[in-house]
Amino acid sequence: MGRELADLSATEALGRFRSLELSPLELLDALIERAASTEPIVNAFTDTYYEQAREQAAAAADAYAQGTARPLEGIAVAVKDEDVIAGQRTTMGSKLLEDWVPEETSPLAQRLLNAGGIVHARSAAPEFSMVIFTWSFLHGVTRNPWNPAITPGGSSGGSGAALAAGSTTLATGSDIGGSIRIPASMCGVVGFKPPWGRVPEVPPWNRDPFLASGPLARTVADAALLQNVISGPVAGDMYGLPRLEIPDRFTAIEGMRIALSTDLGFFVPDREIVSAVEDAAASLRALGAEVEPVDLNWNESLLAAAEDHLSFLMGSIMRADLSKGWESLVTPYVREFFEQPAVSTERWMAGWQVMDRAYLELEGKVFSAGFDALICPTLTTTVIPANWAHPETGTPASLDEVYSVAMTIPFNVLGRLPVLDVPAGMAKSTGVPIGMQIVGPMNCDEVPFRIGAALEAAQGPLFERMRPGLAG
């Protein structure tokens, strides 16, 4: 497979920029050209800022010539249509916010800009980032570049799809139930859910231990590069964690102990997904790690507790922001969420007890038992249509059905655990990638990166071995 500029990793592009072998404008134009061919089908972007981006790319070329380049100088970053950037429309996939142009910039986006990143596009998300697919009444259906009939995942689906299509070099996402890891899995890219507090959030969302914003990229090194730019506390946020630098090189994983669970105690993943994760485990064994199966005594009550938490906190926050008459404008999945019966304080607190027991189970059988990390599937299936639950063209589905396939949710419940999602194989049933979660100990971000980097080095980055048909 011939390499094209649009398929370059960020780290490789930065090296070429520094040597003056490649200009940021050349790379940006290649991404824009790729988007012209893929966007009519993929629909990964909600808004583009190409002319402004070209001016910034030209300025970045001058910075390299003068030796003043910043860490992301000249790299195109698709920012999820959720983070606010002053002067750029931010709709959150909702007709209710169709014309909203914020006057402020979020800490995450500001750090990208300060590091020299170029926001050439905003990436699509489902309305209010509520589900694991990506379509909305405002922006339409976003599709997977590997198979347009299949979703790229959600809620950061536009970010995952743009990376796979080759219309951006880096992308951002947020994750409250798997919204970084699910698109990473479905699109064959790398996504990192940091521990709660590592990347600053806009209040009041900084208080929610389920939520973490983080990077999506085509390689583990690129994900680390972006994570290092956006991590660290901001003044006035008492929930922030200290900045933790992910190294650009790791020691070998020989001698590490890795726990393997293909079902997390109660999920029922498709056989091809189990096989892909088991094959990845075999690769880790070949690199000298000890990989042993563990049985977790988790059950469906963990998902119920997670739903209650989101409904209790997120529902109350968002209901306060929504104006009267919104019911006729929003998607069925948003309406279903807000029409659920209110969760009592007693039920919400009972859910916390379920979550606490889940952590004790994991701690006892994995981290206190001498394992360095846990690996498991990301999803139970890749057979998720791009228009799933769409009232006009999709198959009806309840929120319970939608969430039941997400093996990501337990690690939002256990929000201080860092999770890196990496490609593990390809699904014959749909032709899209299969992802694997690498779960590290509390606040130990470098552990999943160390394992993911070793696996990627052994197998080669997915996009150096193959790329979607829609990407050329």
Give one DSSP letter per residue of 346-371, joined into a string. HHHHHHHHHHHHHHHHHIIIIITTT-
Number of structural domains in the chain: 1
Asked if 159 contacts 183 with a C-beta cutoff of 8 angstroms, the reply is yes
CA distance 177 to 63: 39
Residue 23 falls in the annotated catalytic set: no
Tokens of 358: 């889940």
Residue 37 falls in the annotated catalytic set: no
Tokens of 281: 């485990």
CA distance 329 to 281: 46
CA distance 441 to 378: 18
Catalytic residue among 23, 156, 159, 179: 179
Domain residues for 441? 5-471
Question: What pLDDT shows up at residue 320?
Answer: 60
Asked if 196 contacts 209 with a C-beta cutoff of 8 angstroms, the reply is yes
Residue 80 falls in the annotated catalytic set: yes
Catalytic residue among 9, 94, 129, 155: 155
Length of the chain: 472
CA distance 220 to 423: 10
CA distance 278 to 209: 31
CA dihedral 164, 82, 180, 315 (to 10 degrees): -140
Q: Distances from the Cα of 441 to the Cαs of 328, 371, 446, in angstroms?
A: 44, 9, 10
Question: What pLDDT shows up at residue 177?
Answer: 97
Q: Would you give the DSSP letter of residue 305?
A: H
CA distance 266 to 87: 46
Question: What pLDDT shows up at residue 324?
Answer: 60
Catalytic residue among 80, 136, 156, 193: 80
Question: What pLDDT shows up at residue 259?
Answer: 99
Q: Say which residue the tokens 């521990």 belong to.
A: 195
Q: How far is CA 210 from the centre of its chain?
A: 14
Predicted confidence pLDDT, tens digits, the chain (472 residues)? 457 999 999 999 999 999 999 999 999 999 999 999 999 999 999 999 999 999 999 999 999 999 999 999 999 999 999 999 999 999 999 999 999 999 999 999 999 999 999 999 999 999 999 999 999 999 999 999 999 999 999 999 999 999 999 999 999 999 999 999 999 999 999 999 999 999 999 998 899 999 999 999 999 999 999 999 999 999 999 999 999 999 999 999 999 999 999 999 999 999 999 999 999 999 999 999 999 999 999 999 999 999 999 988 876 666 665 656 677 889 999 888 887 888 999 999 999 999 999 999 999 999 999 999 999 999 999 999 999 999 998 887 887 888 899 999 999 999 999 999 999 999 999 999 999 999 999 999 999 999 999 999 999 999 999 989 888 7
Nearest to 420 by CA among 296, 280, 307, 314: 280
171: which strand partners?
78, 216
φ/ψ (deg, to 5) at 365: -95, -15
CATH number for 314 = 3.90.1300.10
Asked if 120 contacts 49 with a C-beta cutoff of 8 angstroms, the reply is yes
Question: What pLDDT shows up at residue 1?
Answer: 42
CA distance 355 to 338: 23
CA distance 462 to 433: 9
CA distance 460 to 32: 26
